[in-house]
Structure 1
Amino acid sequence: MSEPKSRRPVAVREALQSYLARTGLERRIAQAQVVPEWPRLVGPQIATVTAPESVTADGTLFVRVATSAWMTELQLMTPEIMARLNAGRGTGRIKTIRWLLSR
């Protein structure tokens, strides 16, 4: 018979971080953080006419826009907004933004 492996106790935080990294959930959580951080990242003017909805596993952020005029403006600003969203993010980067007109 083989002896059981001796394991040292692991802190819950450490075990959870390891699990999240191993399963890819760490990246998804980092991507999802863009939604509550949206007003701070884009500023009050853009935040008042937009509403981030969701982030897909491939890094696509879906954002509702109040008017077609704003949607056109935001499409032109996408590279600048992407830079703001991804600044300082190692994992969980947003790859594309899909602007959706609110109905």
Structure 2
Amino acid sequence: MSTAEVAGSGGLRGADLARAALEAARASAKERGVRGVRKGTAGATGRRRRRRWSGPGPDDRDPQPLGRLAARIAADRGWVERLAGGQVFARWPKLVGEELAEHARPVAFENGELTVQADSTAWATQLRLLQRELIKRIAAGVGNGVVTSLKVQGPAAPNWRFGPRHAPGRGPRDTYG
């Protein structure tokens, strides 16, 4: 029965006409193979869904490990490079070896360049010779592309140029000889 037939059927008015139209629409949908809309859900107009329980399988609503959540936050905020640089500082003795870590320490990390300060000029020279090997070790421990270059500094000497009035020259020297 089509809507024209329902409207043309004599004597139906108001609620009876609406019921007949609804039955005709359901019969037409059944002929076409369309499933009916269940009560409690919105049809094509709304997107209301019933609550489903997660059950025994994994689900996005399940509690997540803290490490996974921290990694997601770090990635969203762009902290991954800084955190990787922090791992180099924290794991320095394990990455480069105990003996080398006793004589050299990381000082700064910026844009993939790690600045390392050595105890003596001899160790600074040794670090410069081992530069490629150190970058490989760090990449194996922390990840590729974190440290792209290594800048080696010698021991820090005292600065004699301080104060508002300083005399030009090399600073205090032995005057007894």
Same fold (TM over 0.5): yes
> Pairwise mapping of residues 46-85 of structure 1 onto structure 2 (< 5 A)?
46-56=100-110, 58-85=111-138
Partners of 1:64 and 1:30 lie apart in 2 by 20
User: Unmatched 5+ residue regions in structure 1?
Assistant: 1-7
Q: Percent identity?
A: 29
Runs of 4+ in 1 over 3 A off after TM superposition: 8-16, 88-92
User: Unmatched 5+ residue regions in structure 2?
Assistant: 1-60, 157-177
Structure 1 residue matching 2:146: 3-state secondary structure:
coil
> Pairwise mapping of residues 1-103 of structure 1 onto structure 2 (< 5 A)?
13=66, 14-56=68-110, 58-90=111-143, 93-103=146-156
Contact 1:21–1:27 (CA under 8 A) maintained in structure 2 = no
Contact 2:116–2:151 (CA under 8 A) maintained in structure 1 = yes
Structure 2 residue matching 1:93: 3-state secondary structure:
coil
Structure 1 residues 89 and 51: CA distance shift in structure 2, 3 A: closer
Give aligned pairs, total. 98
Deviation string 1:25-64 (CA, Å, 9 cap, x unpaired) is: 02210121111211111112211111111211x1111111
Partners of 1:88 and 1:36 lie apart in 2 by 12
Higher RCO (Cα < 8 Å, 6 or more apart): 1
TM-score, with structure 2 as normaliser: 0.47
Comparing 62-71 with 91-100, greater Cα deviation is found at 91-100
What value does the CA root-mean-square deviation take over the aligned residues?
2.5
User: Which residue matches 1:5?
Assistant: none
Structure richer in helix, relative to its length: 1
Contact 2:95–2:141 (CA under 8 A) maintained in structure 1 = no
Structure index of larger Rg: 2
Shift of 1:18: 2.3
TM-score, with structure 1 as normaliser: 0.77
Contact 2:139–2:146 (CA under 8 A) maintained in structure 1 = yes
Comparing 42-51 with 77-86, greater Cα deviation is found at 42-51
Partners of 1:69 and 1:99 lie apart in 2 by 12
Structure richer in strand, relative to its length: 1
Partners of 2:144 and 2:77 lie apart in 1 by 14
